[in-house]
């Protein structure tokens, strides 16, 4: 494509079907404790 560059694989829908194991880190345990960001957490399955 010349007008559009897609910079990721856009797999959110696929992850809904395969996800939900619950083994990943609770987001508030990382650094924030006062504000919530979830999209920066790692998937425990993919991390293996």
Which parts of 1-48 interact with other proteins (CB under 8 A)? 1-13, 15-16, 18-20, 22-44, 46-47
Residue-wise DSSP of 11-37: -HHHHHHH-----SPPGGGTS-SSS--
Q: How far is the CB of 48 from other proteins (least distance, A)?
A: 11
Exposed, middle or buried by CB within 10 Å (0-12, 13-18, 19+), for 26? exposed
- Number of residues forming the site for other proteins (CB under 8 A): 43
- The residues of the shown chain that bind other proteins, judged by CB under 8 A, are 1-13, 15-16, 18-20, 22-44, 46-47
């Amino acid at each position: 494509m010349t007008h559009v560059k897609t910079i990721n694989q856009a797999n959110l829908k696929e992850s809904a079907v395969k996800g939900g194991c619950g083994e990943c880190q609770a987001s508030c345990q990382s650094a924030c404790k006062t504000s919530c960001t979830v999209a920066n957490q790692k998937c425990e399955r993919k991390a293996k």
